[in-house]
Amino acid sequence: MTSSRASWILGGLAAGLTGLATSHAVALVLGVRQSPVVAVAEAIVRILPGNVAERGIRALGHLDKPFLLGCIIAGVTATFAVAGLLARRHLWAGQLVFVVLGVVGGLAVVVPKDFTGSQLVPVLVGLATWLLALPWVSAVLRRPDRPVEAGAEEVGPSRRGFLVRVGALGLVSAGFLLAGRWLSHGRRAVEQARELLHLDGVTKPAVPRTARIGLRGVTPWMTESADFYQVHTAIAIPAIDPADWSLRIHGMVDRELVLSFQDLLDRRLTEAWITLNCVSNPVGGDLIGNAWWSGVRVKDLLVEAGVRDGADAVLQTSRDGWTCGTPLTALLDARDALLAVAMNGEPLPLEHGFPVRTIVPGLYGYVSACKWVVDLEVTRFDRISAYWTSRGWAEEAPVKISSRIDVPKDGARVAAGPLRVGGVAWAQFTGIEDVEVSLDGGAWQSAEVGYVPTNDTWVQWAVLVYVEPGDHQLRVRAVDKTRSVQTGVERDVLPDGATGWHSVDFTAEDA
């Protein structure tokens, strides 16, 4: 009926490897650290029970990751071969195998919390390549469907045609990989410049001892940069060499300023713990992180430029074209609104705005935390429209007082009796005064709150409750330093941030 099994296996491999190549090339160009194969490897580590992963790491030492990647590549290669064999009978069966691989890769990049839409692009490109390449090589392997008449010369599939197509796929792969390396060269150069950058006066973070509540499972008070959530609209993030960066401050000012990176570093540096969160964070969600930021106060620069009367906003523009409008008051009052150059004692990671981004305590990121910032225009809200406000989100967006339960997790089973529960709460710029929990709708009970020497960060909280055997619901609410109590009214994230109490359901069992 058709060519030998070996040819079909080779066809499957050729199509499969081409898809890996195009996918990897696109990941390089987009600067996606998580190319799909790496994402799958990390997903496996996450899914494996902790002790298995730990034992594997101990047994293999530094070879654990190459070993895991090797296993995945071997597994994936075997799957390509299977796809080729299945396509011998039915093309769709081979393609289905690729679709399944694509879904696995897609899930592996979508599930982690630092997911940004652009991480899905390499997976989609790889899948599209597979779905096109497989029929293309199959076409020359399959004999025409007409019956072979007696005496007629046997019409075999074209061996030469097949090899030509496999060779062409090899060329496509090599071409993509070379182009990918070439196009990502600029980004790698910037990554190197970042590695070599030494920022005078930037200190390492030292978590205040009193901030830790000491309950396992509560989110760490300081968020490591690698774990910090990411939100940006750019598909390929800007790669800016600090030597090519400048910031223009203009608009309703007396003196326009243009600052180079060095000009900025020559100003007085301020360092602060600041918690940043996204307006799209649902009640109980994790689009929030707390870091040690180092930078120059925006206020100092605005005073230097001389803000004119009548201005009430600063339109910030990123190198990637994204914009946000920030209330002038938040940039001029006593808070540490920073043009940050470092996060957790290191130059900003590229994904978090290298070389300079804005951070304003007490405002959601979409109206304040411009990454890769290059332009500040002092203006009026009635004259501007910014990226998200032109899409229905509110112009003014102060952070809403919020709290979250981290322990126990929703659906958890715990031992009946005394149970220590805990989580985090935040009301940046105002500060958290108190956190209260209610078990099964009972009276609100005050929790112990970690002490932090600032109002601009979240706090950890914990409290002992007593649980009888059976199903329970725990709710939490926070009280800020103006004595405002977090509202239980449930509102969606649009237009200016979610409200409502976070609750978890869990079951207590007799020990």
Binding residues for Mo ion (CB under 5 A): 231, 278, 365-366
371 binds, among Mo ion, ligand MTE, none (CB under 5 to 8 A by kind): ligand MTE
Whichever of 273 and 322 has its CB closer to ligand MTE, that residue is 322
Whichever of 375 and 434 has its CB closer to ligand MTE, that residue is 375
Nearest residue to ligand MTE on Cβ basis: 365
370 binds, among ligand MTE, Mo ion, none (CB under 5 to 8 A by kind): ligand MTE
Give the shortest CB-231-to-ligand MTE separation in angstroms.
Answer: 4
Give the shortest CB-278-to-Mo ion separation in angstroms.
Answer: 3
372 binds, among Mo ion, ligand MTE, none (CB under 5 to 8 A by kind): ligand MTE
> Residue 155 class from Cβ within 10 Å (0-12 exposed, 13-18 middle, 19+ buried)?
exposed
88 binds, among Mo ion, ligand MTE, none (CB under 5 to 8 A by kind): none
230 binds, among Mo ion, ligand MTE, none (CB under 5 to 8 A by kind): ligand MTE
Give the shortest CB-53-to-ligand MTE separation in angstroms.
Answer: 27
Whichever of 366 and 381 has its CB closer to ligand MTE, that residue is 366
Q: Which residue has the tokens 């300079």?
A: 356
From CA 38, how far away is CA 415, in angstroms rounded?
38
Whichever of 229 and 261 has its CB closer to ligand MTE, that residue is 229
305 binds, among ligand MTE, Mo ion, none (CB under 5 to 8 A by kind): none
DSSP string, 211-238: G----TTSPPSSPPGGGS----S-SSPP
Q: Which residues contact 162 (CB under 8 A, 6 or more apart)?
A: 3, 7, 11, 137, 140, 141
Question: Would you say 314 and 379 are in contact if contact means Cβ atoms under 8 Å apart?
Answer: yes
Give the shortest CB-326-to-ligand MTE separation in angstroms.
Answer: 11
Question: Would you say 410 and 283 are in contact if contact means Cβ atoms under 8 Å apart?
Answer: no
Give the shortest CB-486-to-ligand MTE separation in angstroms.
Answer: 20
Q: Is 439 helix (H, G, I), strand (E, B) or coil?
A: strand
297 binds, among Mo ion, ligand MTE, none (CB under 5 to 8 A by kind): none
Give the shortest CB-369-to-ligand MTE separation in angstroms.
Answer: 4
Whichever of 114 and 304 has its CB closer to ligand MTE, that residue is 114
Whichever of 3 and 389 has its CB closer to ligand MTE, that residue is 389
The helix (run of H) or strand (run of E) holding residue 176 is helix 159-183
475 binds, among ligand MTE, Mo ion, none (CB under 5 to 8 A by kind): none
Partners of 394 in beta bridges:
none
Whichever of 274 and 504 has its CB closer to ligand MTE, that residue is 274
The helix (run of H) or strand (run of E) holding residue 424 is strand 417-426
Compute the radius of gyration of the chain from its Cα atoms. 28
Q: Give the residues lining the site for ligand MTE (CB under 6 A).
A: 228-234, 276, 278, 318, 320, 322, 352, 365-366, 369-372
The helix (run of H) or strand (run of E) holding residue 187 is helix 185-196
Phi and psi at residue 298, in whole multiples of 5°?
Answer: -60, -35
Q: Which residue has the tokens 């652009």?
A: 118
Whichever of 260 and 280 has its CB closer to ligand MTE, that residue is 280
Which of the 8 DSSP states describes residue 156? -
Partners of 471 in beta bridges:
507
The helix (run of H) or strand (run of E) holding residue 251 is strand 246-251
Give the shortest CB-373-to-Mo ion separation in angstroms.
Answer: 15
